[in-house]
Amino acid sequence: MRRLQPLILWGFSPFKEIYEIIKDINTIKPTYEVIGILDDNKATHGKMVDGIKVLGPLELCYQYENVKFVNCIGSHRTRIVKYEIIKRLNIPKNRFETLIHPSAKIYSSTIVEKGCIIHKGAVVFNDAVLQSHVEILANSIIGAKNVVFEGAMITSLVATTAGVNIGPYSHIGTHSCIGENVTIGAGVQIGMGSVVLKDIPHGVFCMGNPLRFLDKIGVPLELIKIQEAKK
């Protein structure tokens, strides 16, 4: 009998939506066994969610040698925090499992690196690259020859055209559309319903149609260098 791959999920709040992907994968072919959750919020420790226990803080990950991790952490508020956690814990990328919902369509020429999460109904077109820890939510479309850099989150019903570059640890709001060959900088937040037809500098918060720049945050230099190195 084939042994199931044990998983530990990082993050209490998004657990249920990620767990649904795992259950749908297991319905088609038994593949995973979720053995626990890690979260730095002490108030969650010991709690049970769908029969799965919060084991304690993220640092406990070092105690588990034969499991793989799923990094569920990430929102528009915590996009840079997600990077800081990954950097602090320094877990090798091959310890992170990639989850792809059975209904997602990933073209054969697409590169999907370790630790990505791709939800129900997403489509990733030919020759795209999804770097590690990218998350693409339900029914989003990633166009041909896109590069989605490490840790970026593409929320539901986003559509990108060809040649788009989405910077590391950026966050693209639901129902946003991104035009051909646009580059979105590191740590950018694009609000829901936006139409993006021009490049967005690092750390900017923008939204709307026409697009308005509303705020800016500081972005770690190493994230900027990740994106600049690919030009």
pLDDT (tens digit, 9 = 90+) per residue, 31-69?
999 999 999 999 999 999 999 999 999 999 999 999 999
SS3 1: coil
Hey, which CATH number is domain 99-215, 2.60.40.60, 3.30.70.270, 2.160.10.10, 3.30.110.70? 2.160.10.10
> According to the model, what pLDDT value does residue 2 have?
63
Q: How far out from the chain centre does Cα 23 lie?
A: 19
All CATH 2.160.10.10 domain ranges of the chain, comma separated, are 99-215
Which stretches of the chain drop beneath a pLDDT of 70?
1-2, 231
The superfamily CATH assigns to domain 5-73 is: NAD(P)-binding Rossmann-like Domain (3.40.50.720)
* 121 in Cβ contact with 102 (< 8 Å): no
Cis peptide before 210 (omega within 30 of 0): yes
CA–CA dist 14, 17 (Å, integer): 6
> According to the model, what pLDDT value does residue 164 have?
98
All CATH 3.40.50.720 domain ranges of the chain, comma separated, are 5-73
> According to the model, what pLDDT value does residue 1 have?
52
